[in-house]
């Protein structure tokens, strides 16, 4: 988008971090028909798994590698995630959350032990993840119990619901921006490649 600033007395500079605005759209669809729209911060694809709320007092890297998070869609309720990146010295390959749902993911980190950003780690590891989700509202929904959900990298909510076998609600009903859940059986993410470039996604890559 171009802005004509002639005669206004100031200059509009281009974004210093344009890649942040190029993240693809992602959909979190719940089994009850609730839809959350956000942006992908992980690998392209989709993942169907149990949607669980992380209530631990540990950091996001520790939560991501918790053994009980394996095969789950993990919702982090803290507002800002990713400020310290990923500490390569503490990486664990024994298990991780199939999908990550956050409110705001920082693409730039600042910590002397960090080796990469959280989005870069998710993309390179083939993990589907979504950001810009109203996790407060999602937390209230999950108070009634866990649900199945799907994270779908794309902009079609009907396609996302069809992966769950759920029919769309009446089109007159409001559609909220929300997150995903489903049983830990269907994660279909594409690992990052230099040819295709980063996209958004869901769980661990499986072909």
Q: What does the alpha-carbon distance between residue 147 and residue 179 come to, in Å, rounded to a whole number? A: 11
Fold of 23-202: Glucose Oxidase; domain 1 (3.50.30)
* 22 three-state secondary structure: helix
Mean pLDDT, residues 48-68 = 84
Closest alpha carbon to 100 in 119, 115, 79, 124: 119
**Model confidence pLDDT, tens digit, residues 119-135:** 998 998 899 999 999 99
Mean pLDDT, residues 146-173 = 81
pTM here?
0.72
φ, ψ (nearest 5 deg) of residue 151: -105, 125
pLDDT-derived band at 202, boundaries 50, 70, 90: very low
Predicted local confidence at residue 98, as pLDDT: 65
Mean pLDDT, residues 145-165 = 92
Closest alpha carbon to 42 in 113, 111, 128: 128
Report, in this order, helix, strand and coil percent for the chain, each rounded to 5: 20, 30, 55
Evaluate if residue 176 carries a pLDDT over 70: no
């Amino acid at each position: 988008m171009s802005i004509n600033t002639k005669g206004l007395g100031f200059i509009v500079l281009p974004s210093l971090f344009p890649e942040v605005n190029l993240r693809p759209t992602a959909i979190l669809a719940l089994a009850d028909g609730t839809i959350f729209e956000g942006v992908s911060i992980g690998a392209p694809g989709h993942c169907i798994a149990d949607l669980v709320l992380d209530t631990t007092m540990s950091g996001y890297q520790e939560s991501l590698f918790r053994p009980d998070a394996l095969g789950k869609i993990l919702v982090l309720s803290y507002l800002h995630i990713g400020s310290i990146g990923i500490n390569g010295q503490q990486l664990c390959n024994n298990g991780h959350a199939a999908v990550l749902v956050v409110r705001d993911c920082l693409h730039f980190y600042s910590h002397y032990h960090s080796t990469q950003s959280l989005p870069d780690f998710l993309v390179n590891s083939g993990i589907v993840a979504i950001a810009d989700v109203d996790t407060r509202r999602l937390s209230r929904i999950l108070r009634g119990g866990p649900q199945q959900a799907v994270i779908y990298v794309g902009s079609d909510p009907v396609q996302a619901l069809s992966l769950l076998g759920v029919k769309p609600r009446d089109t007159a009903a409001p559609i909220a921006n929300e997150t995903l859940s489903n049983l830990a059986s269907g994660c279909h993410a594409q690992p990052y490649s230099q040819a295709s470039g980063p996209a958004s996604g869901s769980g661990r890559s499986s072909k």
